[in-house]
Structure 1
Amino acid sequence: MSQFVITDFLKNQLQDGELLGRIARTASDIFTVWGEKERYQATVSGKFRYEATEWPVIGDWVVYEPYDVKQAMIHRVLDRSTVLSRKEPGSKHKRQVMAANIDGAMVVTALTSEFNLQRLERYVLQVYESGARPIIVCTKRDLCANVGGIVSQIENHIPAVPVYAVSSLHELGMDSLLTELQAGKTFSLIGSSGVGKSTLINRLLEKEMQVTKDVREQDGKGRHTTTHREMFILENGAVVIDTPGMRELQLWGDSSSVEEVFSDIDLLADECKFRDCKHHQEPGCAVLEAISKGELTSERLKNYNKLSRELYRLELKEKYGIHRTNRILHSPNSN
């Protein structure tokens, strides 16, 4: 616990005599709790199980009580400063929390055939929605012949987000990335399956903590190995959370986060002739003018509209429920 910064936000939630711990690993209803001096295998109390509306997740700060040398009971979860979520796969409208109380999220993608700029935008949008700071990490730079070109493409499409190109196997770019990971701060790794998150974790820790498998020659993609969420402490005191790779990221949040990912379009929209410009065929549209001049791609505007509509639907479902949302979206006056 000495590596953690116990903020006033946390202290103000504690009562006298309560012990503060942090969820470092989850496996069904069994949790690893990092205490001040020990690590415990813990379960939730009967009262918590009866009253709680949401289960503890990786990164949560909890009040716990040891009842054996290595066993403890979790009594409650403290309020979260940030929440990294997604829409639960296969559900109609349910949130899945991936990590809590993170300061930053390393969005990991591979500089191989796996690279997809639109998917990267989705991940960054979800990080902004969580309240954390996004950091883009491009792995397998040793397998890419155009590293500079792809990095420039990312920086042009997703402004104000730092981008690092690394090779975990050949130790390329790792020192620069480590400057982002400050002592006492917590960073989650997120990304698709097989992009090299586990290998990256091992290099950051300078030891083989996560199981990895060889990269497939036909597509340069590693085989997914992480099956649970787990927290680690780096040598410099930074905390990192590894998460299983995702086959898809269904967004959860509201449309305000789109403005941060697409800040270039948002700035251009301020110059449009009409305040309610939809950037379709309106006269005096600064966004369409930028596309005609080659300053903005039509694909980027298309993805901006797609993500905006997706989050707008989520907002409606949160407010009105699924059935009424469908009626609103299919009404004649709907945009």
Structure 2
Amino acid sequence: MKQSNLEFRLAWGWNDFFEKQLKDSDQIIGRVVGEEKDRWRVQVSATATVWSELPGKYRYQSHSRMDLPSVGDWISCKYEEHQAVALVQKVFARKSCMYRKAVGGGGAAQILASNIDFAFILTSVNADMNIARLERYVSLAWDSGAIPVLCVTKAELSENLEDLLENLRGEFPGIGVHAFSVKEKIGLQNLDPYIAAGKTVVFVGSSGVGKSTLTNHLLGKDVLQTQEIRESDDRGKHTTTARYLFPTDNGAFVIDTPGMRMLSLMDQEDGVDTLFSDLAELENACRFGDCQHRTEPGCAVLSALENGALDENRWNRYQKLKRELQRKQISEDRVKQRQAREKLKKQQKEMYEHIKMKRR
């Protein structure tokens, strides 16, 4: 197992980006395919997986959850045949990483998937359809380095599918928008260009929109439990409770994720700016650089709102996301200021104790 297995790595998405980080050819290299509590399932060859854990020193030196392995990561590990688990030695730098603010995590980040090429943002045609929430997903995807793709599932339930797709393409220009039904076997061929050999796709969306159903279809077997949409409120039941990476028969990889009720941004300014690039350009067209877009003369935003060129709801959603990012930055600054004050107090106390000792 210690021998280099380049053929396996290349088949599983390894490329020059990771090869340049490899310093020891004798390292056991694997890709994280599952995560459960403080253990990670690692694919180390075409047919073998091992459970891995973090050595105490590695965990102690980690500054945040972002330093820990996640599904999709490439890692090096130390493993002997007689050992029950492998020990993680290194997490290779990621070419892309999709994350959000963890629920109840005190502002910590929660990685959704690493080293992904496409982010399928799934939404069903019923009450789950929510433009504001989709904008959050798209912002996370753009910021991650992956390419977002909007997927409308359970298309058989829609009576005006074409109008719905046209509206989505208008809200999200430049992003692939596709509708399909696994149940009725329609529209699935539109996903083929993304589910290609060597590519990794993550499925994100609310509970019950069909992420696990699509995963089972692509794998050709039922590996994940699925639930139907409730007729009472048009919402799906939560099924997937962990993240897993699966290889498909054509050499692609899919990552299924649990449904997310809350989707808070952290520092994804680049993703928001990419999604709303037209609004950023509009702001730059204002006469004054510090324009607040309220009553100022020569405001390009107000002009666009008045003549109907800019949708007021879209502008308000953009402003809401920007305020959320600003609050996050202010909160981080306050934490840094508090830490700096505590450090200064500690230094002053040590200095005082040192002077006291010298006077004795």
TM-score exceeds 0.5: yes
3-state DSSP of counterpart to 1:99 = strand
Alpha-carbon deviation of 1:71? 4.4
User: Which of the two has higher C-alpha Rg?
Assistant: 2
1:1-335 pair list within 5 angstroms: 1=8, 2-14=10-22, 15-37=24-46, 38-53=48-63, 54-68=67-81, 71-321=85-335
Could you tell me whether the CA contact under 8 Å between 1:214 and 1:223 is conserved in 2? Answer: yes
3-state DSSP of counterpart to 2:11 = coil
Q: Distance in 2 between matches of 1:258 and 1:200?
A: 28
Q: Distance in 2 between matches of 1:25 and 1:91?
A: 21
Partner of 1:333: none
Q: Distance in 2 between matches of 1:146 and 1:139?
A: 14
- Residue type of the alignment partner of 2:16: D
3-state DSSP of counterpart to 2:168 = helix
- Give a deviation string over 1:136-193, Cα, whole Å, max 9, x none: 1111111111212222222112221111111121121111012122221111111111
- Residue type of the alignment partner of 2:221: K
Unmatched segments (≥5 aa) in structure 2: 1-7, 339-360
RMSD: 2.0
Alpha-carbon deviation of 1:57? 1.0
Q: Distance in 2 between matches of 1:30 and 1:163?
A: 36
Which deviates more from structure 2 when the two are superposed, residues 114-123 or residues 11-20?
Answer: 11-20
Alpha-carbon deviation of 1:211? 0.5
Could you tell me whether the CA contact under 8 Å between 1:93 and 1:317 is conserved in 2? Answer: no
Alpha-carbon deviation of 1:33? 0.4
- Residue type of the alignment partner of 1:9: F
Could you tell me whether the CA contact under 8 Å between 2:153 and 2:210 is conserved in 1? Answer: yes
Could you tell me whether the CA contact under 8 Å between 2:32 and 2:74 is conserved in 1? Answer: yes
Q: Percent identity?
A: 38
Unmatched segments (≥5 aa) in structure 1: 325-335
Alpha-carbon deviation of 1:293? 3.0
Partner of 2:353: none
Q: Distance in 2 between matches of 1:268 and 1:227?
A: 42
Could you tell me whether the CA contact under 8 Å between 2:122 and 2:209 is conserved in 1? Answer: yes
Q: Distance in 1 between matches of 2:162 and 2:57?
A: 55
- Residue type of the alignment partner of 2:54: V
Alpha-carbon deviation of 1:36? 2.4
- Residue type of the alignment partner of 2:244: E
Alpha-carbon deviation of 1:195? 1.3
Q: Distance in 2 between matches of 1:293 and 1:219?
A: 38
CA separation of 1:149 and 1:284: change in aligned 2, threshold 3 A: farther
Alpha-carbon deviation of 1:131? 1.8
Q: Distance in 2 between matches of 1:55 and 1:83?
A: 12
3-state DSSP of counterpart to 1:321 = helix
Report the number of matched residues.
324
Counting helix residues as a fraction of each chain, which structure ranks higher?
2
Could you tell me whether the CA contact under 8 Å between 2:143 and 2:269 is conserved in 1? Answer: no
CA separation of 1:168 and 1:288: change in aligned 2, threshold 3 A: farther
- Residue type of the alignment partner of 2:49: R
Which deviates more from structure 2 when the two are superposed, residues 3-12 or residues 184-193?
Answer: 3-12
Could you tell me whether the CA contact under 8 Å between 2:122 and 2:203 is conserved in 1? Answer: yes
- Give a deviation string over 1:39-90, Cα, whole Å, max 9, x none: 1122223443343333211111100233227843322211112221111112
3-state DSSP of counterpart to 2:90 = strand
> What TM-score do the two structures reach when normalised by structure 2?
0.84
Q: Distance in 1 between matches of 2:281 and 2:164?
A: 24
- Give a deviation string over 1:68-125, Cα, whole Å, max 9, x none: 2784332221111222111111234221122111122111111101110011001111
- Residue type of the alignment partner of 1:278: Q
> What TM-score do the two structures reach when normalised by structure 1?
0.90
- Give a deviation string over 1:252-287, Cα, whole Å, max 9, x none: 214333221112322333433333333323333333
Q: Distance in 2 between matches of 1:282 and 1:92?
A: 38
Could you tell me whether the CA contact under 8 Å between 1:32 and 1:41 is conserved in 2? Answer: yes
